[in-house]
Amino acid sequence: MKQVILITGASTGIGALSARALAAAGHTVYASMRDTQGRNAPRVQELRDFATAHGTDLRALELDVLSQISADAAIATILAEQGRLDVIIHNAGGLVTGPMEAFSPQEIEHVFDTNVIGAQRVNKAVLPAMRAHGSGLLLWVSSTTTRGGFPPFMGPYAAAKAAMDSIAVTMSYELTRFGIETSIVTPGAFTRGTAHFPNAGKPADLATSAAYARYDGLMDQVGARLSALTPIGADPQAVADEIVRVVGLPAGQRPFRTVIDFIGDGAREVSAIAEQVRIDFARRIGIDDLLSIHAAA
């Protein structure tokens, strides 16, 4: 069934791959990003070229998740053009690396603003319409750092992803009685195919970073080891393909969480246990009707 979909952070990486894959699957896709008429204008043109070449309904949309005004305007545009919005894919986010001590509180706030509060702004804009319609899907692009092993020097990013993941779980209970589903797609580390690590932000406090010189080369060592562990052919397109699969499933039959991990960081195993604990606890406290929209219906 054709869906109207908004994906945040769709200029590059998993967001861009997912936007194209969803459009190719026959959905109407709004690929949102910042500064569509400035630095991301080439990305917008790439989307238009793809849509023309493949005959898809793929549209670039201005949306800065750091601004409630921007989020409200983007959602209003989609609703005006389509009359509904079926799926929100919370993908916008940014990686930072460096010693935790070196990050200023303001830098950490910015990471959380992008990776956590940004999703809340979009939800504030879209959920009234979804609740009124009585259906919808919030699909959250999480990270195996929330469940599996991960190296040091990723502190603000890992903390923000864990916070976002926790909010996704909380909101899943709060939305089922409105017919709104939640699905969390959890990618592992990809050393090839995205600019996630090359484009990672760094703390401005160079002096404190330099004080950690005894760790110099560690992240390069970790990166090399991750590359060695990654099978040939492992590609972030697999995440986009999983998003297409989840979106395409009938309402009420979508998985709560899936893990796309090629290196075996333990997130799949931990997630399976955590999900069973979540279900069992919900039953013990009498809220198991909130585990799915079918149960709520």
pLDDT bucket at 296, cuts 50 / 70 / 90: very low
Give me the pLDDT at residue 192, please. Answer: 59
The catalytic site residues sit at 11, 142, 157, 161
Tell me the C-alpha distance between 119 and 90, whole Å: 6
Q: Is the pLDDT of residue 194 over 70?
A: no
**Average pLDDT of the chain to the nearest whole number:** 93
**Cβ atoms of residues 104 and 156 within 8 Å:** no
**Cβ atoms of residues 191 and 80 within 8 Å:** no
Give me the pLDDT at residue 46, please. Answer: 95
pLDDT bucket at 201, cuts 50 / 70 / 90: confident
Task: For residue 70, count other CB atoms closer than 10 A to its CB.
Answer: 18
Give me the pLDDT at residue 297, please. Answer: 41
State the DSSP H helix or E strand holding residue 118, giving kind and residue range, or none if neither: helix 118-133
Q: Is the pLDDT of residue 82 over 50?
A: yes
Give me the pLDDT at residue 196, please. Answer: 54
Give me the pLDDT at residue 295, please. Answer: 42
Give me the pLDDT at residue 198, please. Answer: 60
Task: For residue 42, count other CB atoms closer than 10 A to its CB.
Answer: 9
Question: Among residues 37, 34, 33, 28, which one has the least CA distance to residue 3?
Answer: 28
The DSSP symbol for 66 reads T
Q: What secondary structure, in 3-state letters, does 6-64 show?
A: EECCCCCHHHHHHHHHHHHCCCEEEEEECCCCCCCHHHHHHHHHHHHHHCCEEEEEECC
pLDDT tens, position by position, 15-50: 999 999 999 999 999 999 999 999 999 999 999 999
Q: Three-class SS of residue 88?
A: strand
Give me the pLDDT at residue 229, please. Answer: 81
Give me the pLDDT at residue 165, please. Answer: 97
Distances (CA, A) of 275 to 173, 184, 281: 14, 12, 10
Give me the pLDDT at residue 195, please. Answer: 52
Tell me the C-alpha distance between 22 and 31, whole Å: 10
Tell me the C-alpha distance between 142 and 163, whole Å: 10
Give me the pLDDT at residue 211, please. Answer: 96
**Cβ atoms of residues 142 and 161 within 8 Å:** yes
pLDDT bucket at 241, cuts 50 / 70 / 90: very high
DSSP string, 161-193: HHHHHHHHHHHHHHHGGGTEEEEEEEE---SSS
Give me the pLDDT at residue 193, please. Answer: 53
**Cβ atoms of residues 85 and 6 within 8 Å:** yes
Q: State if pTM tops 0.85.
A: yes
